[in-house]
Structure 1
Amino acid sequence: MNIHSIVAQLPYRDPFLFVDELVHADEEHIIGGYTFDESLDFYKGHFLDKPVTPGVILTETMAQIGLACFGIYLMQGECKKLTTIALTSTDVQFLKPVYPNEKVTVIAHKIYFRFGKLKCAVLMKNAAGIEVCKGILAGMVIEDI
């Protein structure tokens, strides 16, 4: 499996797919990116006249790249059935706002992957390389969803 085929295996599609690209994956970390298009529906009502990406969407973006994509990569060849990683816990710090049309990069480092559970330290940076949020995410393998 190559990193280009991972996104096709995610159980998400527009308008709830927050992965534009995966640029690297190995046994210890994954790196991917997403650009928050200004036409996304949640911008219409989140801080009137000064839209900001909601923290829950930033968390979801980190989880899709840093947990779900990473889990699919790590599970390659291990599972015969359709599987994915379901988010089970988050501890996220929001450091800077993310505005419409900003591109972010998500970098996840594996803390552990065992017994069907994946725990990662995840960091999100904006295009200037500034940390916008970071945290610890955990999930577990779900079969046949």
Structure 2
Amino acid sequence: MTHSKIIELLPYSEPFLFVDELKEVSENGIFGTYTFKEEADFYRGHFKDLPVTPGVILTECMAQIGVVSLGIFLLKDDDLHNSGVALTNTAVDFYLPVFPGEKVKVVSEKIYFRFNKLKCKVQMFNAEEKLVCRGEISGMIKAE
């Protein structure tokens, strides 16, 4: 399955798609990037004088690249056109802010995948390769 096909199968669209490209995908993990758009609406109020990407959005970006994209790859032989995705658990620690216009890299390592539940160790790095956040994220993918 091509990287562009995985992105096409994601159940998200603008303005809630937080995947620009996937660089590497394997049975054991995935690595992709996203650049946070300066004009994103959530920056208007978070925070008034110093816009910062909300942690929930960073977590969503990590989940879209590190869990959902990897899950689509792992289920490549199934029909995913009518699939559903559900986040089941997150535990993320945050270390650095992400500002409007910043490009991040998400690296995910599969912990386990069974009964369509995927649990991953996920890390996000900024353009300087500094750790922004890391944690474990789990999700279920219901394939038809």
Q: TM-score, normalization: structure 2?
A: 0.95
Q: Is residue 72–residue 85 contact of structure 1 (8 Å, CA) maintained in 2?
A: no
The amino acid that maps onto 2:79 is K
**CA 1:119/1:58 → structure 2, altered by over 3 Å: closer, same or farther?**
same
The answer for the alignment partner of 1:19 in structure 2 is 19
Q: Is residue 62–residue 122 contact of structure 2 (8 Å, CA) maintained in 1?
A: yes
| Counterparts of 1:131 and 1:84, CA distance in 2 | 31
The amino acid that maps onto 1:68 is V
Does the alignment pair 1:118 with 2:122? no
Superposed CA offset, 1:58-98 (max 9, x none)? 00000000011000001111x23532442110000011000
- Match of 1:30, SS state, is strand
| Counterparts of 1:30 and 1:76, CA distance in 2 | 14
The answer for the alignment partner of 2:87 in structure 1 is 87
Q: Is residue 71–residue 85 contact of structure 1 (8 Å, CA) maintained in 2?
A: no
| Counterparts of 1:111 and 1:143, CA distance in 2 | 20
| Counterparts of 2:33 and 2:84, CA distance in 1 | 20
Q: Percent identity, aligned pairs only?
A: 54
Structure 1, unpaired ranges of 5+: none
**CA 1:2/1:33 → structure 2, altered by over 3 Å: closer, same or farther?**
same
How many aligned positions are there?
Answer: 143
Q: Is residue 66–residue 120 contact of structure 1 (8 Å, CA) maintained in 2?
A: yes
| Counterparts of 1:6 and 1:66, CA distance in 2 | 12
Structure 2, unpaired ranges of 5+: none
Q: CA offset at residue 130 of structure 1?
A: 0.2
List 4+ stretches of structure 1 deviating above 3 A.
Answer: none
| Counterparts of 1:123 and 1:93, CA distance in 2 | 10
The answer for the alignment partner of 1:134 in structure 2 is 134
| Counterparts of 1:142 and 1:128, CA distance in 2 | 37
RMSD of equivalent CA atoms: 1.1
Q: Is residue 72–residue 84 contact of structure 1 (8 Å, CA) maintained in 2?
A: no
The amino acid that maps onto 1:105 is K
| Counterparts of 1:58 and 1:113, CA distance in 2 | 23
